Amino acid sequence: MINPLRNFTKKKIGGLILIFVIIIAFGFGGFGGGFSTGNQNNIAKINNTNISTQDFMDYLNQSGLSQQVIKENIDKNVIEELLSSLVSATLLNLEIKDLNLVVSDKIIAEILKKNKNFLDENGNFKRTLYEKFLLSNSMSAAMYEIKLKNNVLQRELFAYISGGAKSPKFLTDKYFIENNRKLDIEFIKLNRFYKREDEFTNQEIKIFIDENSEKLKQDYIDFSYVIITPKNLLGVDEFNQAFFDAIDEIDNKISKNIDFKTITNELNITVITKKDYINLENKETIENKIYNSRKKEIEILEDNGTFIFYQIDNVIQKLPNLNDERFAKQITNLLFQKEKFEFNKDILNQLDKNEFNQASFDKLGNGEVEKTQLNSIKDINKFENNSVKILYTLPINTFTLIADREDNIFIAKVMKLEDTGISPDSNIFNAISNEASAENRNGILKSYDYLLNNKYNVIVNEKTLDRVKNYFR
């Protein structure tokens, strides 16, 4: 429990620092632009409702993301995703207001008093447990209750939109038949047509390497590291605040550009050194974790209750030696995957062009066609879930490529189907009716989503958004 609590605290502090930095940037004109004169503090607009930069800052603060996390994910659209979430939440609030949905303080109080996190062993609400929860999450009672109220209102909105979508009997029957029909399938496992990894000749391997030499070059690194535990750092077995304070102190020294050798000499922990290291097998080892984090020259990694403090001393990019069995295995695996992809792609092209027929299937099977029966759309004993769903959408005598959970690929044909009805007196009828109703609600909510897209016009201030992103780069 110690590490999660510690990480949570750091995350919160990082989030607060981030917001402070952004406030300075906005407050002193670091960001600008707007929809029109006088609106340079708006980052988005929904119809006539503005989302200000202050709104966005508050939302970022609540997300708990640190400046470093945002910086590392800036090119993965983290800012856009956060803004999109804020726009979605604002849009729902506008819709709640438009429909005059309300939740009384009495209802919120009742929900709080029923929350099992705030109940003692006798099931009684304890204010002290509630206050402890607020304190541990750095929230005030008002802030938490506003969030709770918004969540309740959103649930009411979705219940208002789709709450009456009870499936009639004929739709329940249709839903049951479509999802519980039996499918007879013929299939051919394609693995036997692929060239095995041990069948590639040295000449084929050499040609592949020559054609892809630049892509196959890999980083060889020299690095040093120490394993830090409470035992070797403080002489104790348990994690305690003194240990985490020591880790934080190392972090501070790194930020002050104090070199690895100086820090490790002070720690008096044995340094492990690796030369010309490469991760060719991707096993879960400390060295491979350091290798995978090599873009950072010096860092502390957490690894199963220990901390790894490392420094990358040198990086050389070169082509691995083919005499290295691990590299040779990588190459033959790449050749195997390439051959497999091209074979499957050829069949897929034939299917797309309607050139694959019964004669093609029989020729490919060559007397080794297998058969099976699927009992329902949830029958994933033979094939993986998405493949089964595809099979249930196809008409009889149709061919398709499917897979199992071990990523084996098959060409399959739907031979016949057998429908089974359900009686209203069946003990599972109500459960099936509920499933059908849930599917109907999903359809209604999708339609509601289209309605919202037409009802609300969302405009993003791209100039302000770009400046926010550039600030974190």
355: amino acid identity, one letter? E
> pLDDT grade, residue 12 (50/70/90)?
very low
The token pair that represents 412 in the structure block = 């399959």
- pLDDT value at residue 356: 93
pLDDT digits (tens, 9 = 90+) for 299-347: 988 877 678 999 999 999 988 887 888 888 888 888 998 999 999 999 9
- pLDDT value at residue 173: 65
Lowest mean pLDDT among 32-36, 245-249, 312-316, 460-464: 32-36
Laid out side by side, the sheet with 298-303 consists of: 272-277, 218-228, 306-318, 298-303
Task: Compute the average pLDDT of residues 23-48.
Answer: 52
Q: Is the pLDDT of residue 2 over 70?
A: no
> From CA 183, how far away is CA 163, in angstroms rounded?
34
The token pair that represents 264 in the structure block = 């490790």
> pLDDT grade, residue 28 (50/70/90)?
very low
- pLDDT value at residue 390: 92
In 3D, which of 415, 436, 413, 409 has the Cα closest to residue 175? 436
In 3D, which of 323, 335, 325, 330 has the Cα closest to residue 199? 335
> From CA 343, how far away is CA 338, in angstroms rounded?
9
H or E segment at 316?
strand 306-318
Q: Is the pLDDT of residue 53 over 90?
A: no
pLDDT digits (tens, 9 = 90+) for 382-398: 999 899 989 988 999 99
Q: Is the pLDDT of residue 115 over 90?
A: no
Phi and psi torsions of 226, nearest 5°:
-130, 150
In the three-class reduction of DSSP (H, G, I as helix; E, B as strand; rest coil), residue 236 is classed as: coil
- pLDDT value at residue 6: 38
Q: Is the pLDDT of residue 298 over 80?
A: yes
- pLDDT value at residue 398: 93
Report how far apart, in Å, the C-alpha atoms of 326 and of each of 317, 321, 322, 323, 331 are: 17, 10, 9, 9, 9
